[in-house]
Structure 1
Amino acid sequence: MKTIIHVVQHLSPGGLETMVLDMLTFSNPNHRIMVVSLEGQLLNTIKNWPRLVQYQDQVICLDKPAGISMKTVKQLMNIFERYDVDIVHSHHIGPMFYSGLAAKMSNKVQHIHTEHDAWHLNEKKDRYIQKLILFLSKPILVADANFVKKALNKIFLNYPIYTIKNGIDPYKFNIGNKKIARKALGINLPSNAIIIGNAARLEEVKGQPNLIEAMIFLDKKYHLFLAGSGSQKEYLKNLVTQYKLEDRVHFLGHIDHMPTFYQALDVFCLPSNNEGFPLSTLEAQSCGIPCVAHNVGGVSETLCPKYSQLVNSNLPIALTSAIISITALPKTGSPRDYILNNNHAKSMATAYENLYFPGVTI
């Protein structure tokens, strides 16, 4: 039996963290897989994210204080020794720093690091930290999208970089009954309503104002469901009032069961100004829902070319045109097959295991 520990900054609902939990689900059952969260305490972490209950015996929280903490390095080293760890797999810059130092000092643990975006490397401090860890622990470096790999290649030159794209659980995100899903969300709409959905933090970077403004140019049968919360909520609500869209734009807040949300839609729209490799477009398409998304970051690598549409302009009129085009298509196919063939979490987990243990039959 091999022991693999994933290290994340914190455990709260998010794309990176969800991907790590899917790794627990789909990894080889003969391995021991655990997750270490640098921040937080276990009981509070589970309370804030109930999905963790089923994994609570595999989760460790270090409750790291603010700032640099050498105690955290020692804690990781103790975990490596206690569980006889073979692989430490870090995600993002903070976990890379602590995992890299602990792996170097332990001298027997292989370090793998996945880069989920390259924006933070615009900061001189982050570039220095990453170069330091690459020198000290020489981790196997993985990019989760082709665009991330290109950005890393420009900074780290000849350092070898693998690409393993994120996957999702298609058994959880599957095609459902639209009428039942809409009823479960508790919003009564006309039978001919066409529902556009967006699930993201309500923050400026996610571009929801453009999508709300696009509603002005769409027929009144189009409705918009916004799932999520954030600092821009009141601003967005005021925008809806300003455009007199109160009857057509619906703020749903936090959704506990995201498959139901996707299944209620006719089209999912991601108008973000910046993205890494988003999971929301994968999840929606796995539920059979076509997507319209702004061409930023790794978004283009997530869309089914036949049933979803990329827009190069994030202006409301461009989003409007794409939404009308997508919803007018005959309902004769689904983007789900594309996700099953390209972004299955099992395939992702297997690719990582082959990287952990090359040449080993698993």
Structure 2
Amino acid sequence: MKVLQIINSLGTGGAEKLLLETLPLYKEKGIIVDLLVLNGTNYPFMEELKALNCCKIYSLGSHSVYNPVNIFKLIRYLYEYDIAHVHLFPAQYWVVLAKTISFSKIKLFFTEHSTSNRRMELPLFSILDRVFYSSYRKIITISEGVNDSLIKHLRSGKKNIVILNGINLIKVNLAKKKLTKDSLFFHHNNKLLIQVGGFRKQKDQDTTIRSLQYLPSNFHLLLVGVGEREKQLKNLVIQLKLEDRVHFMGVRKDVFSILKNIDVVIVSSHQEGFGLAAVEGMAAKKPVIASDVPGLSEVVKGAGVLFELGNAKELAERIQELLGDESLYNRIAQACQLRATQYNIENMIQKHIDLYQEVYASI
């Protein structure tokens, strides 16, 4: 059985991070799983994966992922594998079209990573999506929230199977607390907040930044990530005169180590299919405060703390409550760490393999 994972690129994002983490583990289990990217730009995740030398990596070039020429470039690879596991749009459409015109017998899987997207808001795409999703043998949804949203959009869920995302708990546990607050240019009396995630419309770093207006001056925010909204966020920081308290960290390979040095993890998002950053924070035994939105709230509720989407003042209040009450802080941190054990990446991978083998046996 040979499986090909197909995605737009290995830029920053939850789906991309998931492939970086899972591909080496498939190899350990003796399963041939390779990767194809529509755009092979050497992003940090791509560099990390190449260094691991755990799978073949194919690239269709460096042109736009929306270029229809990708359809024809995909065809040759569909003959070489038994199963193609696709992630994200437009790869989702291009693979179906490539299979259709090539008459390849490859079986298609698709993972839906989000509770919402622009296509769901347009009637025309609602019809097109029903056609394209129907071409997949199995549709994996990464949370109950994502599953409910997709059923509503497609008016059917008969091909859906919920397989919760996971993280590499061993990596988190082994991460060294090698950094100190001094090494991060902060005084020991400062309180450190962090939000990890791409600077995209889906995320809501704006609210996290605005919350600092309601917090004492010794509260600092680390923003880990890059993206098209970086300039807007930096302008907001300047507008609010928070340049000394908001720190843009870029893409970091030592996120787990950083997490072990901060005080509170914040995941502020307009929408989130799952919330890998939340689980990573919980696994590092840090209290997580997150937006109360589908998918994300499912992961955090009952362990971490939720706040109303976009409510910067409430977010600040939740932060102060945690850091002003040591007993509450420790209780939430312990609950978060326990919750993270439910999202072991090994469980997720085994469920994927079982699904692959089930379909492969019917070929």
TM over 0.5: yes
Query: For residues 186 and 350 of structure 1, do their structure 2 counterparts lie closer, same or farther at Cα, with a shift above 3 Å needed?
Result: same
1:17-96 to structure 2, matched below 5 A, reads: 17-27=16-26, 29-40=29-40, 44-45=41-42, 49-53=46-50, 54-55=52-53, 57-63=55-61, 65-66=63-64, 67=66, 69=68, 72-81=70-79, 83=80, 85-96=81-92
TM-score in terms of structure 1 length = 0.85
Per the alignment, residue 314 of structure 2 pairs with: 318
Please, which runs of 5 or more residues in structure 1 have no aligned partner? Answer: none
> Partner residue of 1:265?
262
Indicate if the aligned counterparts of 2:173 and 2:284 stay in contact, CA closer than 8 A. yes
Q: Matched residue of 1:34: which SS? A: strand
Aligned partners of 2:104 and 2:239: how far apart in 1? Answer: 61
The equivalences for 1:158-197 within 5 A come to 158-160=156-158, 161-174=160-173, 178=177, 180-182=178-180, 186-197=183-194
The AA in structure 2 aligned to 1:12 is G
SS in 2 for 1:4: strand
Q: Could you say which residue in structure 1 is the equivalent of 2:340?
A: 339
Name the residue aligned to 2:151: 153
* SS in structure 1 at match of 2:170: coil
Describe the shift of the 1:125–1:59 C-alpha distance in structure 2 as closer, same or farther (beyond 3 A): farther
SS of residue in 2 equivalent to 1:280? helix
Larger displacement relative to structure 2 (282-291 or 60-69) = 60-69
The answer to whether the 8 Å contact 2:82/2:360 transfers is no
Pair 195,46 (structure 1): closer, same or farther in 2 beyond 3 Å: closer
Alignment partners' CA distance in 2, 1:236 and 1:121:
27
Any gaps of 5 or more consecutive residues in structure 2? none
Secondary structure of 2:266's counterpart equals: strand
Tell me how far apart the structure 1 counterparts of residues 12 and 234 of structure 2 sit (CA, whole Å). 24
2:180 partner SS: helix
Question: Counterpart in 2 of 1:13?
Answer: 12
| Alpha-carbon distance change, 231 to 101 in structure 1, aligned in 2, over 3 angstroms | closer
Equivalent residue for 1:100? 96
1:222 is displaced (CA, Å) by: 2.0
CA RMSD of the aligned region, Å?
A: 2.8
Residue in structure 2 matching 1:211, options 208, 213, 232? 208
The TM-score with structure 2 as length reference comes to 0.85
Q: Distance in 1 between matches of 2:210 and 2:359?
A: 54
Q: 1:3 to 1:124 in 2, by over 3 A?
A: same
Aligned-residue offset at 1:299: 0.7
For the 8 Å contact 1:77–1:106, the answer to whether it is kept is no
The C-alpha deviation readout for 1:251-278, integer Å capped at 9, x for no partner, is 3233232112212211011222232222
| CA positional deviation for 1:232 | 4.2
Partner of 2:355 in structure 1? 355
- Structure 1 pair 208/80, CA: closer, same or farther in 2 (3 Å)? closer
Identity %: 22
- TM-superposed deviation, 1:283: 1.4
What is the distance in 2 between the residues matched to 1:175 and 1:311? 31
Aligned equivalent of 1:122: 121
Distance 1:318 1:48, change over 3 A: closer
Work out whether 1:280 is the aligned partner of 2:281.
no
The separation in 1 between residues aligned to 2:15 and 2:120, in whole angstroms, is 18
Q: Any conservation in 2 of the 1:97–1:129 contact (CA below 8 Å)?
A: no
SS at match of 2:90: helix
Q: 1:153-209 deviations in whole A, cap 9, x for unaligned? A: 12322341111111111122237565x3235x8323222222111122335553223
Aligned residues of 2:12 and 2:198 also touching (Cα < 8 A): no
Letter in 2 for 1:37: V
Q: Distance in 2 between matches of 1:351 and 1:204?
A: 31
1:231 to 1:62, Cα distance in 2 relative to 1, 3 A: closer
After superposing the two structures, state which structure 1 stretch, 274-283 or 233-242, moved more: 233-242
Of the structure 1 ranges 125-134 and 145-154, higher mean CA displacement relative to structure 2 is found in: 125-134
